[in-house]
Amino acid sequence: MNVNDLDWWHTIEVEPGVVTPGSWDLRPTAERMPWPPGGVAGLRCLDVGTMDGFWAFELERRGAASVMAIDLVDPRRQDSPVGRAGGGPEPPRRGETFALAAEMLGSGAAYRDLSVYDLRPEDVGQFDVVVMGYVLQMLRDPLRALEAVRSVCRGHLLLLDTVSLPLSLLPSPLARLDARRGHLEWFVFNRRGLSHVAELAGFEVEAATRVFRDTAGPAVASSSLRHTLGLLGRSAAVRGRAREVR
């Protein structure tokens, strides 16, 4: 089996000169992330909502001692708004792309079929760094998810997500419900909202990026005029340190 035999979401260089044909190239985004000051070398890390595994393998590339990656193998288990899931062909099960990329990279990252809501320290232990990339918007209950992440995080959370832009000079809401009709997102936060929701879940926000254009490939960007014009496709990331529970 080679990379062209599977459907990919992420662009991952799995061997020198061999790149998976995914539409989302997160390599430039990785350089924008507000990584912990000391990096991730020697740390135990968690990638939430890994899909093909880009962030898991990036954590390894940056020297993580160990990485766990979680996702829902059956995508029908994710929080899809009623009426927007189903009606079409059965979605492919996840994990096969991760397994192939891990094999080609010689990765030691562990893959688990696990919902973010079900993270428990007695089950998975504690992590020094948790990366949660483009997951929050897909969740019916983002605070519950972040609280579960907080329960297994003894260090830093890196929260990356799509953000909304103000369309007027008036202050924009911290989050919009069903902001992009026709998409599967539940909430779209603005940059301040992304920081605020992390704080509410028990993290002290230490750093935040500016809003930046994401790096969707042509197959994604050309699918929406709003994306091409920059009304969609904006992202931001925050770094929060887990506060002590008193």
Phi then psi dihedrals of residue 111, to 5 deg: -110, 130
pLDDT in tens, 171-193: 678 888 865 555 567 888 999 99
Share of residues in the chain with pLDDT > 90 (%) = 67
CATH number of 33-242: 3.40.50.150
Q: Are strands 212-213 and 18-19 parallel, antiparallel or unpaired?
A: unpaired
Q: Distance between CA 195 and CA 134 in Å, rounded?
A: 15
Q: Are strands 153-162 and 127-133 parallel, antiparallel or unpaired?
A: parallel
Q: Distance between CA 31 and CA 112 in Å, rounded?
A: 26
Q: What is the mean pLDDT of residues 18-37?
A: 94
pLDDT in tens, 206-234: 999 999 987 755 444 444 444 444 446 78
Residue ranges per structural domain of the chain: 33-242
